[in-house]
Chains A and B, each alone.
Chain A
Amino acid sequence: MPPTDPSRERPRPGPGTSRRQSPGSAGAATAAGAVPTVAENAPTATVESVGENPVEVSLRVNGSRVRMETDPRATLLDTLRDRLALTGTKKGCDRGQCGACTVQVDGRRVLSCLTLAAALDGARVTSIEGLADGDELHPVQQAFIDHDGFQCGFCTPGQIMSAVSLVEEGRTGSDEEIREHMSGNICRCSAYPFIVDAVRSVRGKVG
């Protein structure tokens, strides 16, 4: 995770300024808008605007505490990508139709593109960045590599988040069950057979 910059000034929300900021542009990555993050090593954020009706939320993202003011319109997906510089979660359709944006909230897989950040006060979010233990990949991540579970890789973070949940949910009884319970994740490259191989291979190893 990028370094913290607690000295960063609290930005002033105001109309006409953009809520979005490209993660690289400030050198340090961004998180908490109004209130700097509390946890050590948690990313901090500069935000030019949180809109006209900012809402304060406090949540955990991949184990780090994040307190921020958010525009009530901001989705969890945009918040992760644009404010917390966690760009592993992908925006496919932004309409709930592809699963590329899948993350876990309070241990359940959900679509971050249809989740409002403002509704997440007190929630625990796990994105693809939160799976590995240091340099050690999560078994499901390793399985996707071992089984060639992707081509272009765009859908992969969502596929892996779904696969982790599916294993935790115990829905890996048969290939048919794996396919059905992975069906919320579309792969344009059609890597489906290898994705099923990857999921089957970790059955019983995690969860």
Chain B
Amino acid sequence: MRPYDFTRPRSVGAALGDAHEGSAFLAGGTTLVDLMKLELMTPSRVVDINRLPLRGITVDRGGLHVGALERMSDVADHQDVRSRYPMISQALELSASPQIRNMASMGGNLLQRTRCGYFRDLTTACNKREPGSGCAALTGHSRMHAVLGTSDACVATHPSDVAVALVALDARVHLESLREKRTVALADFYRLPGHTPQVENELRAGELLTGLTVPPLPWASRSAYLKIRDRRSYEFALASVAVALDLDLDRGTIRDARVAAGGVGTRPWRLEAVERALVGRPAALATYEAAAAPAGEDARTLPHNMFKPALLRRTLVRALVALGGRS
């Protein structure tokens, strides 16, 4: 690890004052410490934000509010999150390991870096790590890589599970710098790689993510997160879906739906066309299959991830059957 100095501010103002162009905030450290060891992140200063009052998990008329420093395990376990937004709890519980979930913060989770093996290997070409150097994944091992939102410069998958559920729920993130406070829809927060894969999101240098808000959505109590992976646990997604269904139980139809996918996109991937194809239709297998059919149609696959569009559709159908029933 490269040397850095270490500060332990007690207020948001002090933390923002400590931050500079080359600094990094430390929350749980499960991404930062890992990447500093790889010398992939080389901050000259680490600002430990764990004493800041960015805490709290509350539900009110404005929805669910979660402080950036709340840990994944505490959010997953929270009674209101579990009952009102089960897909958030499930996405968190299917992430990483119990130890990592105890350490990792919600803010850090949304800001974690891709797990692309070439990004993490300093000896290979990676436009995200070293703009202009090329992308070794295009001709290398691409099983874990994205098929949606890719560019010729980068095919790295966005690794967060909970971000997928949050994008489906129209969550917003709150950002604060010395200059201003602002709120951004999580879906717009993440950028497509395009020609500048090194720019992953809207966060500016020295800006803090202070928390997130999930708008109220009463019918999200019928929601689920389904994650398909190479290992049963402690593994990133090959494909995952977050689904919420508003069912008209008398008529047996779908009033409304929210659908997003992970493991397949360069950012968490909302599937609005699938949502539209579900609304107003009977809650039945034929509906789910028809709605899922176009998902991933625009995918650009690589030699080792050609299976992903089909896997995405099957994952979608399975999650919809589990939530809405077969007929």
Q: Does A180 contact B (CB under 8 A)?
A: yes
Query: What mask results when residues 1 to 45 of chain B are scored 1 for a CB within 8 Å of chain A, else 0?
Result: 101111010000000000000000010111001101100000000
Asked whether any CB of chain A lies closer than 8 Å to the CB of B46, the reply is: yes
Q: Are A119 and B50 in contact (CB under 8 A)?
A: yes
Asked if residues B3 and A51 are in contact (CB atoms below 8 Å), the reply is yes
Task: Identify which of B8, B73, B103, B234 contacts A115 (C-beta below 8 A).
Answer: B103
Q: Using A53-B4, A162-B98 as known contacts, say yes or no to A183 and B30 having CB atoms under 8 A apart.
A: no
List residues of chain A with CB within 8 A of the CB of B4: 53, 72-73
**Across the interface, which residues of A come within 8 angstroms of B6, CB to CB?**
53, 55, 72, 116, 118
Is the beta-carbon distance between B33 and A115 smaller than 8 angstroms?
Answer: yes
B232 within 8 A of A: yes
A203 at interface (Cβ–Cβ under 8 A)? no
Task: Decide if A72 touches B5 in the complex (CB within 8 Å).
Answer: yes
- Residues of B participating in the A interface, judged by any CB pair closer than 8 Å: 1, 3-6, 8, 26, 28-30, 33-34, 36-37, 46, 48, 50, 73, 96-100, 102-103, 232-234
- A119–B97 contact, CB under 8 A? no
Please report the C-alpha to C-alpha distance between residue A75 and residue B102 in the assembled complex, in whole angstroms.
Answer: 17
Inter-subunit contact B99/A116 (CB<8 Å): no
Closest residue to B29 on the A side, CB-wise?
Answer: A114
Which residue of chain A has its CB nearest to the CB of B28?
A114
Residue among B3, B100, B232, B233 making CB contact with A111, cutoff 8 Å: B100
Within the complex, the shortest CB–CB distance from A50 to chain B, in Å, comes to: 11
Neighbouring B residues of A95 by C-beta, 8 Å = 34, 37
Which positions in A face B, CB cutoff 8 Å?
Answer: 51-53, 55, 72-73, 75, 94-96, 99, 102, 108-111, 113-116, 118-119, 121, 162, 165-166, 169, 179-181, 183-186
Query: How far is it, in angstroms, between the C-alpha of A110 and the C-alpha of B103 when the chains are bound?
Result: 6
Asked if A184 meets B234 with Cβ closer than 8 Å, knowing A110-B99, A114-B29, A162-B99, the reply is yes
Q: How far is the CA of A123 from the CA of B174 in the complex (A)?
A: 29
What are 21 residue pairs bridging A and B, where the CB atoms are less than 8 Å apart in the complex?
A53-B6, A55-B8, A72-B46, A73-B1, A95-B34, A99-B99, A111-B30, A114-B28, A114-B29, A114-B34, A115-B29, A115-B33, A115-B103, A116-B33, A116-B48, A119-B29, A119-B50, A162-B99, A166-B98, A179-B233, A183-B233
> Among the listed B5, B36, B46, B99, which residue makes an inter-chain contact with A109, where contact means beta carbons less than 8 Å apart?
B99
A183 pairs with B97, CB closer than 8 A: yes
> A118–B29 contact, CB under 8 A?
no
Q: How far is the CA of A4 from the CA of B30 in the complex (A)?
A: 34
Which residues of A have CB within 8 Å of B30? 96, 111, 114
Q: Which chain A positions have C-beta within 8 A of B100? A: 96, 111, 114, 184
Q: Which 8 pairs, one residue from A and one from B, show the smallest C-beta to C-beta distance?
A: A184-B97, A72-B6, A183-B233, A53-B5, A73-B1, A108-B102, A114-B33, A184-B99
- What is the CA–CA distance of A184 and B36 in the complex, to the nearest angstrom? 22
Asked if A183 and B5 sit within 8 Å, CB to CB, the answer is no
> Do residues A114 and B103 form an inter-chain contact, with CB atoms below 8 A?
yes
Known interface pairs A52-B3, A53-B6, A115-B103; A181-B26 also in contact (CB < 8 Å): no
In the assembled complex, the Cα of A55 lies from the Cα of B5 at a distance in Å of: 9
Q: How far is the CA of A125 from the CA of B304 in the complex (A)?
A: 44
Residue of chain A at shortest CB distance from B33: A114
Question: CA A102 – CA B5 in complex, angstroms?
Answer: 26
Q: Which residues of A contact B103 (CB under 8 A)?
A: 110-111, 114-115
Quick check: B98 and A119 within 8 Å, CB to CB? no
A102 to B100 CA separation, bound complex (whole angstroms)? 10
Chain A residue at minimal CB-CB distance from B234 = A183
